[in-house]
Structure 1
Amino acid sequence: MKTKISHADVLDITAPSGGTTSGLAVLIGSLFGIAVTTNVAGDTVAVHTSGVFDHVKEGAGSGQAWAVGDAVYWDNTAKRLTKTTTSNTKVGYATAAALTTDTVGRFRIVPFA
């Protein structure tokens, strides 16, 4: 096939304002992923757009537990995953249960159109 560019598991994008940190989430418009490297704004950075990752979640004091299969959203203001839908971007599903006191959750990135 001559039109396919890549599998899109990892995309090279321009690092947004504030740059990127290796292993942490990046959201540009509706494009969500986990940065492979730490880069300053304007640099080209590789970003995982699929896969299963551990990342900071809404935790202690929030009363928010996760069950396997729960939809998770990215809170771009607090820079953490949450089950709160309001003003947040849906990014995937929990792949492991998490307690209300857990500050890290395991999730699968699922690109949404």
Structure 2
Amino acid sequence: MKNFVQPGGTLTLPAPYAVASGAGFLVGVLFAVASGDAAAGAPVEGVTEGVFTLPKTGAQAWTIGARVYWDDANKRCDSDSTKGVLIGVATVIAVNPSTTGYVRLNGGAAGA
């Protein structure tokens, strides 16, 4: 097929703010995890699929399969849908308190 561009698991995106390798970031409603460091506005490779340990709101308990949202203001995951866009689901139980959680990225834009 002539219209295929790329698989899409990793995309080159403009960093919306300074990001470090392994940090989550949001471009519009597209969430990715940086595969390298980048200054704000610089291109960065962002991984959109897979399971990652990501920072989370500490005072939350997650169950396996719970929806996970990105709180862009605090640069962390949250189980409260009012905090941001849907980025995936929890793959491991996260206890309260804990500062990281395992998240399977949904591989697309929020709501996709």
TM-score bucket of the superposed structures, by smaller chain: over 0.9
Q: Which runs of 5+ in 1 are unaligned?
A: none
- Is 2:11 the counterpart of 1:15? no
TM-score (norm 1): 0.91
Number of residue equivalences: 109
Q: Matches of residues 82-93 of structure 1 in structure 2 within 5 Å? A: 82-93=78-89
Q: Which runs of 5+ in 2 are unaligned?
A: none
Q: Deviations over 1:65-106 (max 9, x none)?
A: 011000000001111101001141100000000101111000
Task: Report what 1:101 is aligned to.
Answer: 97
TM-score (norm 2): 0.92
Q: Deviations over 1:25-61 (max 9, x none)?
A: 01011010100010112221100011100010111xx
Equivalent-residue separation in structure 1 for 2:57 and 2:41 (angstroms): 29
- Is 2:76 the counterpart of 1:76? no
Equivalent-residue separation in structure 2 for 1:109 and 1:100 (angstroms): 22
Equivalent-residue separation in structure 2 for 1:103 and 1:41 (angstroms): 25
Q: Matches of residues 28-107 of structure 1 in structure 2 within 5 Å? A: 28-59=27-58, 62=59, 64-107=60-103
The secondary structure found in structure 1 opposite 2:81 is coil
Structure 1: 4+ residue segments shifted above 2 A: none
Contact 2:24 2:34 in 1 (8 A): yes
Q: Give the % identical residues.
A: 37
Give, as a single letter, the amino acid of the residue that structure 1 aligns with 2:12: D
Equivalent-residue separation in structure 1 for 2:50 and 2:73 (angstroms): 23
Contact 2:34 2:44 in 1 (8 A): yes
Q: RMSD over aligned Cα, in angstroms?
A: 1.0
Q: Deviations over 1:5-38 (max 9, x none)?
A: 111000011122x222110001011010100010
Give, as a single letter, the amino acid of the residue that structure 2 aligns with 1:20: V
Give, as a single letter, the amino acid of the residue that structure 1 aligns with 2:95: L
